[in-house]
Amino acid sequence: MIQINVGKILKERGKSKSWLCDQMDISLYNLNKAIKGGKKSISYKYLERICEDIKLFI
């Protein structure tokens, strides 16, 4: 299982979830569902955009 620590990474980089939502053009509700496990899966499109926007290289 892959655990996504977006909140922690954003905090380290001085960014907020609202900032990330603006970058990704998605709602805070959908971002929270994606990163808090409210969804059974996260699309590669969202995962890729999160990584690009917070400059996380995997």
When pLDDT is averaged across residues 10-22 and rounded to a whole number, the result is: 90
As a whole number of angstroms, the distance between CA 40 and CA 10 comes to 22
The better pLDDT of the pair 37, 50 is held by: 50
As a whole number of angstroms, the distance between CA 30 and CA 39 comes to 9
pLDDT of 37 above 70: no
Q: First-to-last CA distance in the chain? A: 15
Query: What is the chain's mean pLDDT, rounded?
Result: 78
When pLDDT is averaged across residues 27-42 and rounded to a whole number, the result is: 75
Tell the burial category of 34 from Cβ atoms under 10 Å away from its Cβ (0-12, 13-18, 19+).
Answer: buried
pLDDT of 2 above 60: no
When pLDDT is averaged across residues 6-13 and rounded to a whole number, the result is: 86
**Under DSSP, is residue 30 helix (H, G, I), strand (E, B) or coil?**
helix
When pLDDT is averaged across residues 33-51 and rounded to a whole number, the result is: 70
Domains located in the chain, CATH noted: 6-53 (1.10.260)
